[in-house]
Amino acid sequence: MARAPEIRDAHFPGRAPIDAYGNGGFRFADMSHRGSLLCLPSGIYGWDMEEGAALTVDAFARVLQETGVEFLLVGTGRDLRTLPAPLKAAFRGRGISSDSMGTGAAVRTYNIMLGEMRPVAAALIAV
């Protein structure tokens, strides 16, 4: 009997700039990923988030559990969406400053801050 393939969360164990975005995904570290991403100090992870979905504390649980994040950029898709007050409060409670912007602007800002070796993370909704 054949074993079912093991399906794991997408994960790149390191930090890398985002080389391209669009068409529903991202390119980084000579790889491509379809869907949204969390770019954290511990690595880059696939994120089950779609444009227009609710920005809840639960949706950002992995970010809130991460250490070493002082600033979070949230790429909210094609359009800017403000972060709900409970989510901003959860970030502040962990010492994380946050800013939301369209995904393109978030990618560009993340790459600059990463290049400056700043303690930045990004939650990027695919466009």
Residue 117: give the domain boundaries: 11-124
Q: Is 6 inside any structural domain? A: no
The CA distances from residue 61 to 43, 93, 97, in Å, are: 15, 13, 16
Q: Is 2 inside any structural domain? A: no
pLDDT of 109 strictly over 70: yes
Cβ burial of 74 (10 Å; 0-12, 13-18, 19+) is buried
Token code pair at residue 91: 């970030």
- Mean per-residue pLDDT, 102-114: 98
Q: Is 3 inside any structural domain? A: no
Q: How confident is the model at residue 4 (pLDDT cuts 50, 70, 90)?
A: very low
Give per-residue pLDDT as tens, 94-107. 999 999 999 999 99
Q: The domain that contains 40 carries what CATH number? A: 3.40.1230.10
Q: Which of 28, 22, 21, 24 is nearest to 44 (CA)?
A: 28
Q: Is 99 inside any structural domain? A: yes
Q: Is 5 inside any structural domain? A: no
pLDDT of 22 strictly over 50: yes
pLDDT of residue 66: 95
Q: What pTM, to 2 d.p., does this model score? A: 0.91
- 71-75 vs 120-124, strand pairing mode: parallel
Domain count of the fold of the chain: 1
Among 3-7, 18-22, 40-44, 74-78, the least confident range: 3-7
| Gap between the Cα atoms of 71 and 88, Å rounded | 12
pLDDT of residue 5: 45
Q: Say which residue the tokens 């164990």 belong to.
A: 13
